[in-house]
Structure 1
């Protein structure tokens, strides 16, 4: 009997340890949506599903895609600026690598211009989802936030003189804890300006000022050029050699608009 009880005790300890190890092998993942806004009254996108995969070469038809519990719905991108975001999905996942994220949009995508709601024609390829590279490793017991920075200005393309608009999403994807941030304000609080962050001649991120200020997150460490473009009656301002450091917020001096 003593041996029998000892065996049960050891088995219980073993099962408890295994369960504890299993629980501690989970990481929490959130997917959030933000916007680099465009010069429209509203831009609505129809979010249907979020999926992830561990392989960066996985095709649409391959096995291994995990569908996250998704907050489906229509989101106004122009409300998601300067620190405001929308939670698209959250899930507890086994620790390990995440290489791709797939954003699947529906057909109810529109913009509002001069008070008129205009359909955004969406390529049929989007039915299988927009595949975005993420390449990060989830560690157990930690929380990760993947940010989808939807560049509305560069994603909407007018089709000639037809009056039609096409939605060709340009999305910057990053893990919120990675990289650094860039923050600044202009002297013109009531004027909305376009802010473009570039590196080696290529656009990395864009934003519009809100009450004269802007915030750009998830920039890889490095040196950038920042260009602030107010309305045409004012002169644009270019700031060179802006340094971004991982884990830090670089706050620029007030940018004078003349």
Structure 2
């Protein structure tokens, strides 16, 4: 599992293989594969993050071959990714598909993406190349098989993907404040381990990082606790994690400041969700 920063060309998505379903029908679709594309989110410190998704394509040939793209059956729509956190996901595509290998998936974004900040103001979300060449996500060893369902879960990290321009000031045009530089991760769907828990007080609204050491270096997945203090990280490989909590809220006057907290030795087992209980941040 790797994280990728992108500017037009992105890397990542959450991949998975679900159970096989057989049919005795003579319909050709009985031997087709089933392809699902879903969107989930590791949230950031915004009220809304809305993506204007116009088209979804997959690439069936080697990288650089312009003839390998195939458009999926998809209804253009705007999606507030912050609606899909803590295990929720939006179903974007559910279609029969010819068995074979997939190399990439590409999202074509329209001009109407935006964020609503914690100040309640709406800001345009500029995508440097997403509206034209699309946001491309490389896929590793994705093979669709007859009578099986393959799910691509696009795990969108808002905190890393929405970037404020360094020279922006409150007096500048609101449309120029934020850029979209998608950070999306890829992990096999049959990895069903996870972490969940709550923080106290909920008003601390911490960013939560789960860090696992691996042979290729630290592997980090992040999310934010929601307004109730709950958080959940899914599709984690088994292993031992360090979980870090970075408060983004400010304690009321007269109350103890919210603290940065680290929990070590957290074990994740495949096919199980580890419950961390409540983590105090003051």
* TM-score > 0.5 by shorter chain: yes
Q: Provide the secondary structure at the position in 2 that maps to 1:38.
A: coil
Count matched residues.
Answer: 239
Give distance in 1, aligned partners of 2:38 and 2:32: 20
Runs of 5+ unmatched residues, structure 1:
1-17
Question: How has the CA–CA distance of structure 1 residues 139 and 156 changed in structure 2, closer, same or farther, with 3 Å as cutoff?
Answer: same
Q: Which residue of 2 aligns with 1:128?
A: 133
Q: Give per-residue Cα distances to partners, 1:171-208, cap 9 Å, x unaligned.
A: 12344333522222224345422111223474622111
1:74 aligns with 2:78: yes
Tell which structure's C-alpha radius of gyration is larger: 1
Cα distance, 1:245 vs structure 2: 2.9
Match of 2:225 among 197, 201, 209: 209
1:256 aligns with 2:280: yes
Q: Which residue of 2 aligns with 1:109?
A: 113
Q: TM-score, normalised by structure 1?
A: 0.82
Q: Which residue of 1 aligns with 2:236?
A: 219
Give distance in 1, aligned partners of 2:243 and 2:179: 28
Runs of 5+ unmatched residues, structure 2:
1-23, 170-176, 251-256
1:170 aligns with 2:183: yes
Q: Provide the secondary structure at the position in 1 that maps to 2:160.
A: helix
Question: How has the CA–CA distance of structure 1 residues 249 and 138 changed in structure 2, closer, same or farther, with 3 Å as cutoff?
Answer: farther
Cα distance, 1:169 vs structure 2: 1.0
Structure number with higher helix proportion: 1
Cα distance, 1:33 vs structure 2: 0.9
Give distance in 2, aligned partners of 1:30 and 1:255: 35
Question: How has the CA–CA distance of structure 1 residues 240 and 133 changed in structure 2, closer, same or farther, with 3 Å as cutoff?
Answer: farther
Cα distance, 1:39 vs structure 2: 0.9
Give distance in 1, aligned partners of 2:209 and 2:68: 37
Equivalences for residues 140-179 of structure 1 within 5 A: 140-163=146-169, 164-179=177-192
Q: Give per-residue Cα distances to partners, 1:87-109, cap 9 Å, x unaligned.
A: 21121112232232112211111
Cα distance, 1:28 vs structure 2: 1.4
Give distance in 2, aligned partners of 1:246 and 1:24: 32
Q: CA RMSD in A?
A: 2.4
Match of 2:267 among 216, 236, 243: 243
Indicate if the aligned counterparts of 1:145 and 1:175 stay in contact, CA closer than 8 A.
no
Q: TM-score, normalised by structure 2?
A: 0.76
Give distance in 2, aligned partners of 1:219 and 1:50: 26
Give distance in 2, aligned partners of 1:20 and 1:221: 41
1:33 aligns with 2:39: yes
Cα distance, 1:228 vs structure 2: 1.5
Moved over 6 A (4+): none
Greater relative contact order, per chain length (Cα 8 Å cut-off, separation 6+) = 2
Q: Which residue of 1 aligns with 2:57?
A: 51
Question: How has the CA–CA distance of structure 1 residues 134 and 76 changed in structure 2, closer, same or farther, with 3 Å as cutoff?
Answer: same
